[in-house]
């Protein structure tokens, strides 16, 4: 099963341990995460299910292309990384 890992910055605000969840697409994998950790949903996606502007998702070392439909493929041995962008000076 794909492994999902969250940045330490996000973990400071919510319980966001690395999880192994099933799914063949990024959206399916994130749905599995949200089923286990529902509070993460509002930090990661908006009310239409699209990635929030300050969030990036990578499958292995490649940033996903479909930020709206989350249809990028995920293989069982992939690692999905969820990054919350930081800003400021």
pLDDT tens by residue, the chain, 89 residues: 999 999 887 777 788 889 999 999 999 999 999 999 999 999 999 999 999 999 999 999 999 999 999 999 999 999 999 998 766 55
The helix (run of H) or strand (run of E) holding residue 26 is helix 26-36
- Alpha-carbon dihedral angle through residues 34, 51, 25, 32, given to the nearest 10 degrees: 0
HSE-up of 56 (CA within 13 Å, CB side)? 9
The residues spanned by each domain of the chain are 3-84
Asked whether 82 and 54 are in contact (CB, 8 A), the reply is no
Which CATH number is correct for 3-84, 3.90.1300.10, 3.30.70.260, 3.40.640.10, 3.10.20.30?
A: 3.10.20.30
21 Cβ contact partners less than 8 Å away, ≥ 6 residues apart: 1, 2, 4, 29, 32, 33, 35, 36
Question: What confidence score (pLDDT) does residue 87 get?
Answer: 62
Question: What confidence score (pLDDT) does residue 47 get?
Answer: 94
Read off the pTM: 0.91
């Amino acid at each position: 099963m794909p492994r999902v890992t969250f940045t330490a910055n996000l973990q400071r605000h919510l319980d966001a341990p690395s999880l192994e969840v099933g799914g063949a697409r990024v959206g399916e994998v994130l749905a599995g995460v949200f089923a286990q950790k529902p509070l993460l949903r509002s930090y990661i996606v908006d009310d239409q299910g699209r990635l929030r502007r300050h969030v990036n998702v990578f499958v292995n070392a490649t940033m996903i292309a479909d930020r709206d439909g989350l249809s990028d493929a995920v293989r069982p041995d992939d690692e999905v990384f969820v990054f919350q962008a930081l800003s400021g000076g």
